[in-house]
Amino acid sequence: MGREFLEGNEAIAAAAIKAKCDFFAGYPITPASSILHYMINLLPGVGGKAIQCEDEIASMGYCIAAAMAGRKVMTATSGPGMSLYSENLGLAQMGETPMVIINIQRQGPATGSATKGAEGDILFTRWITSGGMPLIALSPATVGEAYELTYRAFNLSEQYRVPVVLQASKEIGVTRESVDLDAIELPPVYERKKANGAKPLQHHFDKLEEVPGMLEFDGERVARYTTSTHGKDAYLSADPGVIQEMIDHYIAKIDSARNDMALYKQDIQQGAETLLISYGITARSAKVAVDEARKNGKKVSSLQVQSLYPVPTAAIEAAAKGVRKIVVPEMNMGQYIRDVERIVPSDVEVVGVNKMNTYLISPTEIIEKGGLQ
């Protein structure tokens, strides 16, 4: 493929095809609409199908059905669309349905500024569904990372039978950069685990953290799927023991693999007194801020979190060792900082650098508000 001049949304579509996605359903919404356009153009060439739906609710419904029928699926939206996704996203969690959801974040709340950027859906994505079950959420900082993390999102969704959300932003989605996609190292495509045995169950597991094989709707045997509490056989259940076991399973299969799925980049300086923890588009300003601070004699380390959820606790703890202050710049009014504060020792000062007026946080603002002069 070689070096290309791509916008983030185009790279996301290319990564989906690379990951063998063969179904897309979506509804146009700025700034995610071009993903729908790209997928409509690309999927027929690989034997896939793309559908422009009547709304976001229908888009999720189509994706759930297609996933359970054996397709690898993706949908894309922005903030208001994520709100409409929430009910069916809970259904996908209950049914342990693999799917990739692209959220090209924009300024909110509500309609907000449709053509302006922010990264305000971070906590919303973690707690979007009733019941509070864990999701996997990834966050790219560049067009190249949008390609890589979309591909990885498909692998994670298939491996753990869970919806995975890519939390991109308007600046990444519609900004073009020169990227050599062939130079990006990717793992092999993860092949979906199928249910087996004489009487396979839709949610069979021996250990709580075990991911069940999928019993697909292939037309040859009965496969159940329900939004209500159920047991391993997908039959509705009101038994408290069965219900608690399934809840513990939904949590364990994600939390037990927290370290395995942790994705991050770090630049640790020996003897650093300050650590910058960043994600998404602001990670680019944070990198420049670290370079400038070091030129001015400051000892500063940086940690760019790419897998927001589950929180890469071990990576944050390790990066924070020995520092006196942690600076967390965010294109919102302070969301991921809450997880950082929960993890690090109480005697470490945690400072947020926040802005949500549609303008990017600059390296100068991080330096000044973070006390790195």
Q: At residue 358, does pLDDT exceed 70?
A: yes
What is the reported pLDDT for 250?
Answer: 97
What is the reported pLDDT for 200?
Answer: 86
Q: What H or E segment, with its residue span, contains residue 206?
A: none
Residues in the chain: 373
Per-residue pLDDT reduced to its tens digit, 105-137? 999 999 999 899 999 999 999 999 999 999 999
- Region 77-84 average pLDDT: 96
Q: Helices 8-18 and 33-42, interaxial angle, to 10°?
A: 40
**DSSP line for 269-303:** PTT-SEEEEE-TTHHHHHHHHHHHHHHTT--EEEE
What is the reported pLDDT for 196?
Answer: 81
Q: Are 329 and 141 in contact (CB under 8 A)?
A: no
Q: Are 97 and 163 in contact (CB under 8 A)?
A: yes
Q: Cα(293)–Cα(6) distance, rounded to whole angstroms? A: 31
Q: Helices 56-68 and 79-94, interaxial angle, to 10°?
A: 30
Put simply, whether the predicted model's pTM sits higher than 0.95 gets the answer yes
- Region 162-184 average pLDDT: 97
354: helix, coil or strand? strand
Adjacent-strand bridge partners of 276:
302, 327
What is the reported pLDDT for 372?
Answer: 93
| Structural domain boundaries in the chain | 3-183, 264-369
What is the reported pLDDT for 2?
Answer: 73
Residues 6+ apart with CB under 8 A from 32: 9, 26, 76, 77, 78, 81, 102, 103, 104, 173
| DSSP annotation of 340 | H
What is the reported pLDDT for 128?
Answer: 93
The overall average pLDDT reported for the chain is 96
Q: Yes or no: is domain 3-183 CATH 3.40.30.10?
A: no
- Region 270-286 average pLDDT: 97
Q: Are 272 and 301 in contact (CB under 8 A)?
A: yes
| DSSP annotation of 50 | E
What is the reported pLDDT for 1?
Answer: 59
Q: Cα(223)–Cα(200) distance, rounded to whole angstroms? A: 9
What is the reported pLDDT for 222?
Answer: 77
Q: Cα(132)–Cα(93) distance, rounded to whole angstroms? A: 10
| Domain 3-183 shares a fold with domain 264-369 | yes
Q: At residue 90, does pLDDT exceed 70?
A: yes
Cα dihedral angle (355, 310, 169, 327), rounded to 10 degrees? 30
Domain covering 264-369: architecture? 3-Layer(aba) Sandwich (3.40)
Report the candidate in 295, 316, 296 with the shortest Cα–Cα distance to residue 304.
316
Per-residue pLDDT reduced to its tens digit, 182-236? 999 999 999 999 998 767 899 999 999 999 999 877 777 778 899 999 999 999 9
